[in-house]
Chains A and B, each alone.
Chain A
Amino acid sequence: MTDLVPSDAMADPLLDLMGGFIQQLRQAGLPVSLTENLDAMNAVREIPIGDRTSFKWALGSTLVKNHQHWPAFETVFEVYFSLRGAEYSLTDDDSDATDDDTSAEGDEQNEGGGQEQGGGGGDAMSNEDLAEMLYQALMREDQTLQRAVARQAVQRFAGMEPGRPVGGTYYLYRTLRNLDLDAVLERLLEADKQENGGQSKLDERLARDEYESRVEKMKSEIEAEIRRRLVADRGVEAMAKTLRKPLPEDLDFMHATRDEMESLRKAIYPLTRKLAIRLARKRRHKNKGGLDFRNTIRRSLSYGGVPAEPRFKHPRPAKPEIVVIADISGSVAAFARFTLHLVYAMSSQFSKVRAFVFIDGLDEVTKFFDGGDDITAAVHRVNTEADVVWVDGHSDYGHAFEVFEKNYMNAITPKTTVMILGDARNNYHAAQSWIIQEMKRNAKQVFWLNPEPGSYWDTGDSIVSEYGQYCDGLFEVRNLRQLETFIEAVL
C-alpha cells in the first residue's frame, strides 16, 4: 500500500516495539537471526497497522520457520501485542473498567459473594444467570456473548489480585472449576437430543464433537481474558516470562504431561524417518560398487566412443539391523512410554528391528509392533503380555542381560546396531557388564541412551559408567533435541 509511508516518525516506535518483541521471542528459545529480524521489519511496513491478523502473519512467516515453535510464538505475540492490538480496542470502554476491577477485587476476592462492587455491567447477575448466559452463548455459538461471559467469569471467579505472584494456570483452574464446563456440555447435548429427537448414533457423535470444540474455544477465550488482565497488571516482560513454556524439543521426557507426551509422539515420527533416510543414504553413497561395463560403454556413445563418464554398479544395499533393549520399570516409566513410541516408529521405518523390554526379567516384544498399525494397542500389549518380571519387579539390569545373553545373543550380528535405553539404576544387583562387552564384540555398534541428567549418573545405585565403558557411545537423552543430537552424532 502506498499510503503507508514508513516515515521516520513512524519507523522509530515501530523499531523499538519490534526490538522488544524479538527479544522476547529469543528468550522463549526461538532462533531468530538478524536477517529474519530485518525481514520482519520490512514485512510489517507492508501491512496496514490496523490489520491485526495480517500483522501477526507478517511476523509469523518471517520469524518462525518451524511449525513446532508456532505455539510459543503465539503466546509471546498475544502477550506482547495484547494491549495494542485492534482486538483490544473493541473492548475499549471495558479496559477502563478492568482497571477499576483489579483494584476492587482486592476486597472482594476469597469470598465469592461480594461481587456487587465490581465494575462492568452484569453486577446484578447471580451465578445461575451467568451459567445460563454461558449455556446460551455456546448453544448459539455467539462469540460476542462468549467473550462477555469469559470476562464476567474471570472477574467473578478467578480472584485476581494485583501483584499476586501466581501463574495464569491457577486463575484458569479457579475459573473453570466454578463454571463447570463439563456439566454445560452435557446439558447442551441433552438439549440437542431433545430438539432433533431420535437421532442416529452418528449424529449424536457429530453433535458431541461440535459442542466439545465450542467448549474448547470457550476455554481458550477465558485463558486469553486472564492473560490480558495479567499483562495489564504486571506488564509485558514479566508475563512473557511466566507464560514461557519449553519448546517441544526441550521437553523433558521424564516430566512430560499427557498433552506434552502427545506432541512429543507426533514429533518422533519425522525423527525416525530422518534416521532411516540417513542410514539409507549412507548405504547408497559409501563405497560404490564395481565398474558397470555395459552402462559405461553405452554412455561413451555420447562422447564419440570415449568412455569419459564411467558408471558404477549400485552396491548391494545392506539392510541395517537394529536391536533395541529398553528398561520399562517404574523409575523410568514416563521415559519408557516414550521409548516404546520410538521403537514403534523405528519398526515402521526399518525392516529389521528387534525390540526387547526388561525390568528384572527380559522378553522380546518385536511381534507386538509387527504389522500392528496401532501404537496404543501395541503399548498395551507390551505392558500386559510381556514377561518382564522375574522376582520382584524392581530393575535388575544384570539379570535381564543374563536372560538376553542366554536366549537372544544370536540376534546380534556384525551388522547390528544395539541401542540400550535405561537409567542403569540397578538396585545394587550384580552388574554383569561383561555381557555388554560381549555384545560390543559381536555387534557393529552399541549405544546407551540414558534419560537421567548427566549430573545424576553414577550416584546412588546408578552404574551407567560401568556399562558405558564398553559402549561406543553413552548419551544423555532427555528431550528431542538431545535425541536429534544423538542421531546426528552416530550416523
Chain B
Amino acid sequence: MSDRFADVEAVRSGLSGVDYLADDGISSVVYLADRLGKPVLVEGPAGTGKTQLAKSVAEMLGARLIRLQCYEGLDESKALYEWNYKKQLLRIQSERDADWGTIEDDIFSEEFLLTRPLLEAITCEDPVVLLIDEVDRVEVETEALLLEILSDYQVSIPELGTITAKQIPLVFLTSNNTRELSEALKRRALYMHLDYPELEREREIVQTKVPDITANLADQVARIVRTVRNLDLRKAPSVSETLDWARTLVLLGVEHVDAETAIETANVLLKYRTDIEKATKEFASNDEAFTTPA
C-alpha cells in the first residue's frame, strides 16, 4: 500500500542505522507490514526487543511514536476517544436559551472529542508508528475494540460517523503470550516470534550497544549468556540483562571473565535466587557437572 522501504535490505540497513540489529525475519516482516499495510504482532519472551523494535522503526522513519500501553480494564474511553462532557456541560449552560437542536449538533462535534492513542494515530497528519504494547493484558472482549482500526484503519463514532485514516500508520502489537490472543486479532496481523538472539547476533548487539567493550569480552559475554540460557532456569536472561551485565563488566574493568567474576556479577544477569545458585554451581570450577562429559 505504501512504499516506505525500497526492499528488505533497506529495512535492515535503516534499522542498523539506529542501532537496532535486525535479522532476516525482522526485516522481512517489517518490510511486508509496510507493503501490505498490515499490523505486525510481535510475540516472545520478555526483554527480546519487541517494544524496542517499534521505537527503532519510528526513529528510523523519523515518525512520531504513539504508544498505547494495555492493561486489564482498558476501555474505549482510554483507547479510542471520549466525549469531553465537562466542556459539553459548560456549552449547554452558557447558552441556556438557545435552541436544543443546534446545541446538540454543536456539542457532538470534533471540538468536544478527546482523542485517545488509537484515534490520535489515524487522525494525525504526520507519519506515525503506532505501538500497542502488551496486548495480551487486555480481556478478550476488549480486543474487539482494536479490530476495526487494525483492519480498516478507521474508527466509528456513533454521534459523528466514521473517521478514516489520513495515512496508514505502521502498527506494532506486542504480546508476552500470557494468553492466547483471539483468532480475529491474529488473522488481521502479520505474526512474528522474537526469540533470544543467536550467538552471533547477540555479540553484535553487545558491541553496538556497549561501545567501550573489547571484541574478546563481547564474545565471551555472548557465549556465557548462551550457556546460561541453556540451563533450566526460572527466568532466562534477556537481551537487556545481557547488556547490563556487559556494561557492569566494562565498568569493573574486566578484560577476561573467569568463573569468579561471573559468579560475583551473576546478580546482574539473573533475578531469582535459585537461578543464581544454579548458575553459580554450574560455573564453580570444581563442580562435577562441569568435568563429566555430557
Contact present for B274 and A36 (CB under 8 Å): no
Contact present for B187 and A270 (CB under 8 Å): no
Complex: A47 Cα to B7 Cα, angstroms? 8
**Which stretch of B54-62, B94-102, B113-121, B286-294 is in the interface?**
B286-294
In the complex, A57 has a CB within 8 A of chain B: yes
In the complex, B285 has a CB within 8 A of chain A: yes
**Residues on B with beta carbons closer than 8 Å to the beta carbon of A376:** 232
Chain A proximity of B1: nearest CB distance (Å): 10
- Once A39-B36, A201-B291, A302-B85 are accepted as A-B contacts, the answer to whether A57 and B223 lie under 8 Å apart by CB is no
- Once A201-B285, A270-B178, A274-B180 are accepted as A-B contacts, the answer to whether A61 and B191 lie under 8 Å apart by CB is yes
Complex: A381 Cα to B282 Cα, angstroms? 21
Contact present for B294 and A62 (CB under 8 Å): no
Contact present for B285 and A202 (CB under 8 Å): yes
Contact present for A61 and B32 (CB under 8 Å): yes
**Which stretch of B22-30, B103-111, B201-209 is in the interface?**
B22-30
Complex: A202 Cα to B258 Cα, angstroms? 7
Q: Chain B: which residue is nearest A372 at the CB level? A: B274
Q: Which of A43, A57, A66 is B36 in contact with, Cβ under 8 Å?
A: A43
> How big is the A interface, by class?
35 or more
Residue tally, chain B, CB below 8 Å to A: 59
Complex: A60 Cα to B40 Cα, angstroms? 12
In the complex, B38 has a CB within 8 A of chain A: yes
**Residues on A with beta carbons closer than 8 Å to the beta carbon of B44:** 67
**Interface digits, A254-280 against B, CB 8 Å rule (1 contact, 0 not)?**
000000000000000010011001000
In the complex, A294 has a CB within 8 A of chain B: no
**Which stretch of A19-27, A162-170, A206-214 is in the interface?**
A206-214
Number of A-B residue pairs with CB-CB distance less than 8 Å in the complex they form: 124
In the complex, B190 has a CB within 8 A of chain A: yes
In the complex, A304 has a CB within 8 A of chain B: yes
Chain B proximity of A196: nearest CB distance (Å): 12
- Once A54-B8, A209-B226, A209-B227 are accepted as A-B contacts, the answer to whether A374 and B274 lie under 8 Å apart by CB is yes
Complex: A43 Cα to B285 Cα, angstroms? 52
Contact present for A54 and B278 (CB under 8 Å): no
Chain A proximity of B163: nearest CB distance (Å): 24
**Residues on A with beta carbons closer than 8 Å to the beta carbon of B40:** 61
Contact present for B275 and A373 (CB under 8 Å): yes
In the complex, B186 has a CB within 8 A of chain A: yes
Contact present for B293 and A61 (CB under 8 Å): no
**Interface digits, B134-172 against A, CB 8 Å rule (1 contact, 0 not)?**
000001000000000000000000000000000000000
**Residues on A with beta carbons closer than 8 Å to the beta carbon of B186:** 65-66
Chain B proximity of A130: nearest CB distance (Å): 24
**Residues on A with beta carbons closer than 8 Å to the beta carbon of B179:** 270, 273-274, 277
**Residues on B with beta carbons closer than 8 Å to the beta carbon of A273:** 178-179
In the complex, A186 has a CB within 8 A of chain B: yes
Contact present for B259 and A202 (CB under 8 Å): yes
Q: Chain A: which residue is nearest B89 at the CB level? A: A304
Contact present for A46 and B294 (CB under 8 Å): no
- Once A202-B283, A202-B285 are accepted as A-B contacts, the answer to whether A209 and B230 lie under 8 Å apart by CB is yes
Complex: A376 Cα to B232 Cα, angstroms? 9
**Interface digits, A279-319 against B, CB 8 Å rule (1 contact, 0 not)?**
00100000000000000000000111000000000000000
In chain B between 184 and 212, which residues have their CB closer than 8 angstroms to a CB of chain A? 186-187, 189-193, 199
In the complex, A64 has a CB within 8 A of chain B: yes
Q: Which of B7, B259, B285 is A48 in contact with, Cβ under 8 Å?
A: B7
Complex: A42 Cα to B179 Cα, angstroms? 29
**Residues on B with beta carbons closer than 8 Å to the beta carbon of A384:** none
**Residues on B with beta carbons closer than 8 Å to the beta carbon of A65:** 41, 186-187, 189, 191
**Residues on B with beta carbons closer than 8 Å to the beta carbon of A144:** none
In the complex, A53 has a CB within 8 A of chain B: yes
Complex: A35 Cα to B36 Cα, angstroms? 13
Contact present for B178 and A58 (CB under 8 Å): no
Complex: A70 Cα to B262 Cα, angstroms? 35
Complex: A70 Cα to B187 Cα, angstroms? 16
Q: Which of A57, A58, A202 is B257 in contact with, Cβ under 8 Å?
A: A202
In the complex, A351 has a CB within 8 A of chain B: no
Complex: A273 Cα to B176 Cα, angstroms? 12
In the complex, B43 has a CB within 8 A of chain A: yes
Contact present for A201 and B259 (CB under 8 Å): yes
- Once A57-B28, A202-B259, A374-B278 are accepted as A-B contacts, the answer to whether A35 and B187 lie under 8 Å apart by CB is yes
In the complex, B177 has a CB within 8 A of chain A: yes
In the complex, A103 has a CB within 8 A of chain B: no
Could you pull out 9 A-B pairs where Cβ atoms are within 8 angstroms? Answer: A57-B24, A61-B191, A201-B286, A202-B257, A206-B227, A274-B178, A304-B89, A373-B275, A374-B274
Inter-chain pairs besides A47-B8, A64-B191, 18 sampled, C-beta below 8 Å: A48-B7, A53-B28, A54-B24, A54-B31, A57-B28, A57-B29, A60-B191, A61-B29, A62-B32, A65-B41, A67-B193, A201-B287, A202-B259, A202-B262, A205-B282, A270-B177, A281-B139, A373-B275
